[in-house]
Chains A and B, each alone.
Chain A
Amino acid sequence: SQELEQSPQSLIVQEGKNLTINCTSSKTLYGLYWYKQKYGEGLIFLMMLQKGGEEKSHEKITAKLDEKKQQSSLHITASQPSHAGIYLCGAALMEYGNKLVFGAGTILRVKS
């Protein structure tokens, strides 16, 4: 079993539509990272959330951290083809000290 579950596993949206990706931890977390990856390439850092209720935005991407639910959501508004890729969440979990664990990723395709 994985400490971080991402949902959905994959997603196809029409260009211009909004979408949400979720990341849920089975253990207490004290930091949550969102990364984007193009297939076969490195990860690009998007945002880091550290406090419960924290919300950050970058261009059309917004991420929130719900500490009580041990969950984070990534919301993309008015999706564009450039948003396509794999979105990964990574978390610092109390149990593992400073080590980051990652979810399996959500594959996003945006249809023009």
Chain B
Amino acid sequence: ETGVTQTPRHLVMGMTNKKSLKCEQHLGHNAMYWYKQSAKKPLELMFVYNFKEQTENNSVPSRFSPECPNSSHLFLHLHTLQPEDSALYLCASSQGRQSRYEQYFGPGTRLTVT
């Protein structure tokens, strides 16, 4: 419905696993974002891509590795995560990087690290 899809919707992984989150937008947008939403904390911006180029890394630990092969797809590769990384990971896209363009969000991936 929003034009932004995320898979998987739920993921449980051990601390030694490697997994990837996928985001796809069908809106023809040029900018894509990864956000982390933890319980009782504001939404935190993690990464921003504009025209496939990373324009922002918000001091995110290296165990999170983003990849943007084209303007429609965004991945978040996960490895050796910690239990405190359990959260809802949201992908968003917007027409442009400027804040005047509203961001459209996907449904999120609920990640649990055991």
Instruction: Evaluate contact between A42 and B103: CB separation under 8 angstroms.
Output: no
Report the tally of A-B residue pairs with Cβ distances under 8 A. 58
Instruction: Evaluate contact between B41 and A98: CB separation under 8 angstroms.
Output: no
Interface size class of B (residues with CB under 8 A): 20 to 34
CB-defined contacts of A90 to chain B, threshold 8 Å: 43, 103
Instruction: Evaluate contact between B42 and A103: CB separation under 8 angstroms.
Output: yes
> Which residues of A from 1 to 50 have beta carbons under 8 Å from B?
2, 4, 30-31, 33, 35, 40-45, 48, 50
Complex CA–CA separation, A30 to B104 (angstroms): 19
B99's partner among A31, A41, A43 (CB-CB below 8 A) is: A31
Complex CA–CA separation, A104 to B43 (angstroms): 7
Spell out B's residues near A (CB within 8 Å). Answer: 2, 4, 6, 40-43, 45, 48, 56, 88, 90, 92, 97-100, 102-108, 110
